Amino acid sequence: MNHWKLTLSYDGTLFHGWQVQPELPTVQGALALALKYVTGESILPQGSGRTDSGVHALAQVTSFALETSIPPANLQRALNRALPPSIRILAAELVDESFHARHSARRKTYEYRIFERRTAASPSERICSPFLAPYAWDCRWQLAIEPMQEASKYLCGTHDFTSFAASDPERGLREEESDDTNGKAQGPNPVKTLLQAGWAHEHGLLVYRVTGSGFLHHMVRNIVGTLADVGRGSLAVDEIPRILAARDRTDAGPTAPACGLFLHSVEYDSGITQSY
């Protein structure tokens, strides 16, 4: 068997997330179909994480094994011809059989983009271009970046992020399932470590970039929605420790729209898979 690692980028707008679902278009499903077309083998590629419906990726990583022997450049070219234009293989490489896109990951970085309709520098409301709207939160509030930056510092370090996790009965099937010693899924561990996080103005957008050891379902979007409440003045900066301690989703802010979220990069022992 030949063991593969692919780095891919995708526009998640028209997909119902990464994970294959019956009768619904997904990134994993589209890639599996392309692999079947190119190699004749029916396999289900494993991703570094399960991005939700409407979420994008700059550098998602997937792994799988094939019996077919094919040069990496040829596989990359053939898959890009077979895939829809909203998915592109950025790199294809042969790896050791011990490599697994999710289990081998050490860190992930997510990026969230906000278009600010109202800013202190703009006397009138700005209009979000229809060519930008699918890739950013068109936020109607004026946001102050300084308190958002201060509030985000409280989230760095190791915490129980239950207050920022999705409250849904299927979350045990989502990204970051924990395995016991027998390899059985036990559901997500709510204790995660955020290594760095912060806000910046980039290319006319307000961008939140966060790196961590792992993330819960909707965690980044719930953090962004809560920090936006801080930025618009409806939540005090020093409320963040209380929200963390509550371990209750209802204490945190709203869930930011999926369209602004990007899986930016995934880091492994051998280095980091950069965004493209």
Q: What is the pLDDT of residue 164?
A: 97
pLDDT tens per residue across span 53-90: 999 999 999 999 999 999 999 999 999 999 999 999 99
pLDDT at residue number 91: 97
Averaged pLDDT, 92-109: 96
CATH class of 2-103: alpha beta
Q: Domain segments of the chain: what residues?
A: 2-103, 106-179+188-270
Which of 52, 138, 179, 248 is flagged as catalytic? 52
pLDDT in tens, 228-251: 999 999 999 999 999 999 999 999
Question: What is the pLDDT at residue 179?
Answer: 41
Annotated catalytic residue 52 = yes
Largest CA distance in the chain: 62
Q: Which residues are annotated as a binding site?
A: 110
d(CA 76, CA 39): 12
Residue-level pLDDT at 37: 97
Annotated binding-site members for substrate: 110
Q: Count of alpha carbons within 13 Å of 171, Cβ hemisphere only?
A: 15
- Over residues 154-172, mean pLDDT: 83
- How many angstroms separate the Cα of 160 from the Cα of each of 186, 187, 190, 196, 248? 16, 14, 5, 16, 10
The fold for domain 106-179+188-270 equals: Alpha-Beta Plaits (3.30.70)
Query: Comparing 2-103 with 106-179+188-270, is the CATH topology the same?
Result: yes
Whole-angstrom Cα distance, residue 55 to residue 262? Answer: 6
Cα first-last separation, the chain? 29
